[in-house]
Structure 1
Amino acid sequence: MMRRCPLCAETTTALYHRDRRRDYYQCATCKLVFVPPEQHLSAAAEKAEYDKHQNSPHDTGYRRFLGRLFTPLLAKLAADARGLDFGSGPGPTLSVMFAEHGFQMAIYDLYYAPDTAVLTQTFDFITATEVVEHLSQPGKVLEQLAGQLAPGGYLGLMTKRVSTPDAFARWHYISDPTHISFFSEETFRWWAQKNSLVVEFPGPDTVILHKSLR
């Protein structure tokens, strides 16, 4: 059966790993590793998993976790920058952290803050923490977010990265049934080049993409 990559839409894909629950394919072009659509959870089952999350802006540990993206991104922003936290979840926190530093923030979440009006606006920076691994159509979503960036804007992502097939087989990250798209550094570099963005990796699970002023 032909497997189309959900990031770049190419059809040259091969089985990368298989466990008791799911299959994982890798795209030969962009190197994304992905779970085929028929093995995804239903929307109701997916939301039930997210409802278990207990994230809150009052949780100092969670703030520290988000700080891995917040700190390097904050250093790049102009004082009047306007931001969007995409996939803000049941307890928006990163948007609160930026708002505390004087930034005007919007949030969007498919299940918890589904105001699609913000998806037609442009922003100086957009964050998506622990989001891309949940996307069934990462190519479509990331293209949309890149299109919402103002010239000179930043897209900050947080997701754990694929390294080797051996490490993947032992990786706790794939045991989450809502995780269906797995990026490597190579995947992000490919996507950045294709979309004329400059990419940097501030940490092992963070990515900052910069849109040129032109």
Structure 2
Amino acid sequence: MITPLPPPAPPSAACRVCRAREANLLLSTQGRTYWRCPVCRATLLDADQLPPVTEERLHYRQHRNDPADPRYRRFLAKLTEPLRQRLAPGSRGLDYGCGPGPALAAMMREAGCLVTLYDPFFYPDPAALQQTYDFITCTEVIEHFHQPAEEFARLDAMLRPGGWLALMTCFQTDDERFAAWHYRRDPTHVVFYKAETLHFIASQRGWRCEIPVKDVALMHKTPVACAFP
């Protein structure tokens, strides 16, 4: 009698967040396959299933983020309030991935900051990416990154020493709830971060990561050391 061979192990995929060489299969659900990085603990949609740009554009046009909506402003205040406490008056920032209704930029301008807008679909100004800033905000943006490691390298290059990168995204918690999680079901959400993932991203670049409230991370880029004679 010939004993049947066991099924082959599923292939591994590289982590697009920390560039670890191998990620492990987490689960497949509703036609989508997700990988877990054993190093940074990010969860990633399979690279072959990333949504096309045309699909993303149509989905983003459905967003209704009114800068005058008090409920939306309260939601954004989870990030803007702790960030403002860490900034000098007149700080210059970039709202990266601001979307069609840049409410956060309006709130930071009201606080006395100078804010530039950039969004690949709604404010595609390449000049904004050639400057440096005291702070950069990404609210509900990093979960859309197809190539997170490249995006974080770009943000690092634009952030001045001593500057702040302010991130807002729903932190992933229980794997048991991942398949039914509303955040996963958004077709444009392709990478999911645990709090420890964001700490790891910061440590890779020598930044300090603070989590003042759930779903918000403030990353402080190391200031340039003063040279004394």
Verify the 8 A CA contact 1:159 1:206 in the aligned structure 2.
yes
| 1:96 CA drift (Å) | 0.6
Give matches, 1:142-157, under 5 Å. 142-157=152-167
Query: Which residue does the alignment assign to 1:190?
Result: 200
Query: Which residue does the alignment assign to 1:206?
Result: 216
d(CA) in 1 for partners of 2:45 and 2:52? 14
Which secondary structure does the structure 2 equivalent of 1:153 belong to? strand
- Structure 2 residue 104 is the aligned partner of structure 1 residue 94: yes
How many residue pairs are counted as aligned between the two chains? 214
Query: Which residue does the alignment assign to 1:13?
Result: 23
* Alignment equivalent of 1:179, drawn from 177, 184, 189: 189
Residues 19-58 of structure 1 deviation map (CA, whole Å, 9 limit, x = unaligned): 1131110111211100012211110011100000011111
Unaligned runs of 5+ in 2: 1-10, 225-229
User: Letter of the aligned partner of 1:197 in structure 2?
Assistant: W
| 1:167 CA drift (Å) | 2.6
| 1:7 CA drift (Å) | 1.1
Query: Which residue does the alignment assign to 2:117?
Result: 107
- Structure 2 residue 44 is the aligned partner of structure 1 residue 31: no
Give matches, 1:76-95, under 5 Å. 76-95=86-105
| 1:2 CA drift (Å) | 4.0
* Alignment equivalent of 1:66, drawn from 71, 76, 82: 76
Q: Percent identity?
A: 39
d(CA) in 2 for partners of 1:117 and 1:190? 30
Verify the 8 A CA contact 1:161 1:185 in the aligned structure 2.
yes
User: Under a length normalisation based on structure 2, what TM-score does the superposition of the two structures give?
Assistant: 0.91
Query: Which residue does the alignment assign to 2:3?
Result: none
| 1:13 CA drift (Å) | 1.0
Verify the 8 A CA contact 1:25 1:36 in the aligned structure 2.
yes
User: Letter of the aligned partner of 1:164 in structure 2?
Assistant: D
Verify the 8 A CA contact 1:11 1:27 in the aligned structure 2.
no
| 1:79 CA drift (Å) | 0.2
User: Under a length normalisation based on structure 1, what TM-score does the superposition of the two structures give?
Assistant: 0.97
| 1:169 CA drift (Å) | 2.7
Query: Which residue does the alignment assign to 1:4?
Result: 14
Verify the 8 A CA contact 1:17 1:165 in the aligned structure 2.
no
Which secondary structure does the structure 1 equivalent of 2:71 belong to? helix
User: Letter of the aligned partner of 1:174 in structure 2?
Assistant: R
Higher relative contact order (CA 8 A, sep 6+): 1
Verify the 8 A CA contact 1:32 1:184 in the aligned structure 2.
yes
Measured on the aligned residues, the alpha-carbon RMSD in Å equals: 1.0
Larger radius of gyration: 2
